[in-house]
């Protein structure tokens, strides 16, 4: 099928992760640099562009190391064991705001009237551009082009005596979805946005260390027991005085990002009391109930499509098979500089298993379709491997709107669901059929409606940057 939809020369065919943050506070000096290293390793799926760790040394001085690449590329595991400190924070990044270079790697560190401060940020500030221009007008000089630096400039403008109050002043001026870990010479602070869009949780180890992590899988990696999720609009402080908590705003809702459960988060994570694996598994079951099909084998697109494929198989009685083998050394942000190379790259990342596919009617389950280029190539690969029929099923609704709350998404025009119906898209891909999970069934899988579905429905919990810029100019507190 020919289509008027023009393939865009863009680097990836998936929603791309925001970032991952991790922090630890120890009651006594310990090898916590290595501790954060392993925590970031567990969060590597949230960003492979740059990695960084800041640590408070026993005398209270903060030192940092950052670099481009994954955690194992940036840090030497053996030398890290020797670095002792009381607290540390870490960050893995994919650029959602600002370009890709080491100057934009986090944590960000400043020396201020409150002493040294290090900050790691997951998410996006929807009013970042407005705030940045207002700060520049007041004389602020920016060293990076990421929105996280805006928070530090707002913090240093406060006339309060304590850093927590300065953070409160800064947070009262920003909008968007975010999770922050902030470290000073004597404390660790965790913050979650008022709508709870970006995740952050807290745990504790047997020897008394407190841990903050974007996902619970980060706690598991360092042997910390999950305590609870940080609540929307909450600031948690961890120090020698213990753990204290306060709300920096009373105007809160809990609307976690639905795409965390669809694709971003690791399946072994639990977020806001909901198991990611169970959501994906249930979505697969409901996908079969909604769009039945006769077939011989069900396969999933690894890794995030696998739980839904298992659910689809169990609901349908169609056997599940490992029909696609993934090259585990190819990251989620594998850059393809041209359309031809991008489509060829699918064969580098995924390879069909012919004994499972030959002569079979195949149902292939993926978590989502963004631009459709990968899915189209995948159907071709499956048929070239001998599949008699290929029925494509998507364990989420069509993605039709971009995200400005911490996810790197294409423009609305680049989203293929805005150009083709499911039938047209299936024909263009070469599939025998294509169907999506409904928004109603996604809500059922999530066991509730209190989520952000902005990229699926166009209804966002906060104003977009365009709406904010149209509404009024920005005034600093």
The separation between the first and the last C-alpha atoms of the chain, rounded to the nearest angstrom, is: 56
Question: What would the two tokens of residue 410 be?
Answer: 């294409």
Residue 201 a catalytic site member: no
Beta bridge partners of 119: 108, 182
Question: Distance (Å, rounded) from C-alpha 317 to C-alpha 53?
Answer: 48
Spatial CB neighbours of 244, under 8 Å, sequence gap ≥ 6: 236, 237
Q: Which of 19, 201, 217, 403 is catalytic?
A: 19
Q: How far is CA 117 from CA 7, 111, 114, 181, 277, in A?
A: 44, 6, 8, 11, 36
Q: How far is CA 137 from CA 111, 118, 415, in A?
A: 22, 25, 37
Beta bridge partners of 203: 211, 226
Sign of CA dihedral 401, 405, 410, 412: positive
Question: Distance (Å, rounded) from C-alpha 234 to C-alpha 396?
Answer: 30
3-state helix, strand, coil in the chain (%, to 5): 30, 25, 40
Spatial CB neighbours of 243, under 8 Å, sequence gap ≥ 6: 210, 236, 237
Enumerate the active-site residues: 19
């Amino acid at each position: 099928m020919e289509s008027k939809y023009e393939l865009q020369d863009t680097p990836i065919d998936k929603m791309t992760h925001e970032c991952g943050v991790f922090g630890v506070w120890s009651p006594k000096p310990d090898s916590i640099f290595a501790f954060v290293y392993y925590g970031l390793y567990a969060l590597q799926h949230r960003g492979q562009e740059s990695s960084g760790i800041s640590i408070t040394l026993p005398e209270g001085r903060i030192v940092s190391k950052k670099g481009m690449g994954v955690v194992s590329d940036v840090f030497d595991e053996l030398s890290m064991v020797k670095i002792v400190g009381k607290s540390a924070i870490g960050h893995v990044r994919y650029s959602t705001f600002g370009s890709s270079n080491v100057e934009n790697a986090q944590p960000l560190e400043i020396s201020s009237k409150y002493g040294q401060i290090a900050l790691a940020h997951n998410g996006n500030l929807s009013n970042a551009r407005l705030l940045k221009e207002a700060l520049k007008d007041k004389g602020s000089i920016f060293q990076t082009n990421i929105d996280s630096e805006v928070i530090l400039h707002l913090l240093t403008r406060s006339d309060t005596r304590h850093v927590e109050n300065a953070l409160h002043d800064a947070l009262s001026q920003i909008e968007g979805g975010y999770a922050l870990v902030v470290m000073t010479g004597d404390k660790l602070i965790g913050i979650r946005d008022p709508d709870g869009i970006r995740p952050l949780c807290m745990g504790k180890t047997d020897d008394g260390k407190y841990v903050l992590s974007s996902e619970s899988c980060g706690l598991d990696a360092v042997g910390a027991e999950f305590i609870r999720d940080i609540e929307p609009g909450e600031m948690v402080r961890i120090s020698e005085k213990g753990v204290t908590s306060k709300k920096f705003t009373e105007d809160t809702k809990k609307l976690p990002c639905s795409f965390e459960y669809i694709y971003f988060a690791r399946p072994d994570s639990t977020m806001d009391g909901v198991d990611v694996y169970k959501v994906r598994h249930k979505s697969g079951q409901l996908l079969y109930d909604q769009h039945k099909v006769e077939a011989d084998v069900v396969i999933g697109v690894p890794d995030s499509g696998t739980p839904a494929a298992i659910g689809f198989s169990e609901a349908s009685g169609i056997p599940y098979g490992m029909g696609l083998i993934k090259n585990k050394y190819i990251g989620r942000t594998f850059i393809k500089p041209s359309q031809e190379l991008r489509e060829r790259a699918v064969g580098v990342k995924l390879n069909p298993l012919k004994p499972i596919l030959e002569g079979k009617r195949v149902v292939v389950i993926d978590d989502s379709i963004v631009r459709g280029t990968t899915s189209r190539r995948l159907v071709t690969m499956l048929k070239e491997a001998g599949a008699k029929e290929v029925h494509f099923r998507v364990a989420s609704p069509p993605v039709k709107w971009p995200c400005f709350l911490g996810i790197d998404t294409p423009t609305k025009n680049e989203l293929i669901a805005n150009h083709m119906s499911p039938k047209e898209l299936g024909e263009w891909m070469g599939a025998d059929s294509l169907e999506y999970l409904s928004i109603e069934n996604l809500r059922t899988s999530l066991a509730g409606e209190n989520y952000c579905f902005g990229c699926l429905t166009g209804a966002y919990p906060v104003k977009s940057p365009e709406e904010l810029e149209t509404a009024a100019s920005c005034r600093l507190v």
